Amino acid sequence: MSPESIAALDGPFTTRQLLRLDEALRVADQQTGLTFSVFIGDLEEPTRDHAERLHRQLDGAAKAVLIAISPNQRVLEIVTGTDARKRITDRDAKLAALSMAAAFAGGDLSGGVLAGIDQLASHAGRH
């Protein structure tokens, strides 16, 4: 078993959920021309600053959308690059965050992430 497989087994998602998330990210990237990424793990305080640092490390950060989730801290941050922000407003991101938080509150981490990716991609529209 590869180290990646072991890490996936220890994570919050099943293999099926990981495949669905991977597909959702791929489709969102293709449809919008933006790059969607998800980070799940603890965020350093202040959490927004840490999420922004993670976003800056992404290739093509100007066109990137990062969904950073810390289940242990009950924190969700959505960071958009300068180009992505022209297509996904703060209001759009807040609406997606509310949908995601509702799913998370019901214990559905995977479903919440999928809903957030879909909603943000829909707001961004096709490129």
**Are the beta carbons of 81 and 62 closer than 8 angstroms?**
yes
SS3 (DSSP) at 87: coil
Q: Does the predicted TM-score (pTM) go above 0.85?
A: yes
Domain ranges of the chain: 3-124
Query: Each residue of 43-79: pLDDT tens digit?
Result: 999 999 999 999 999 999 999 999 999 999 999 999 9
Identify each DSSP E strand in the chain by its residue range.
35-40, 64-70, 75-80
| Closest by Cα among 55, 59, 42, 34 to 121 | 34
DSSP one-letter code for 67? E
C-alpha pair distances (Å), 51 with each of 9, 15, 17, 26, 61: 25, 26, 23, 21, 12
The residue with tokens 């960071």 is 79
Q: Does domain 3-124 have CATH number 3.10.310.50?
A: yes
Query: Each residue of 79-122: pLDDT tens digit?
Result: 999 999 999 999 999 999 999 999 999 999 999 999 999 999 99
* The residue type at 46: P
In percent, the amount of the chain with pLDDT more than 70 equals 92
What are 127's two structure tokens? Answer: 């490129």
What's the pLDDT band for 10 if we cut at 50, 70, 90?
A: low
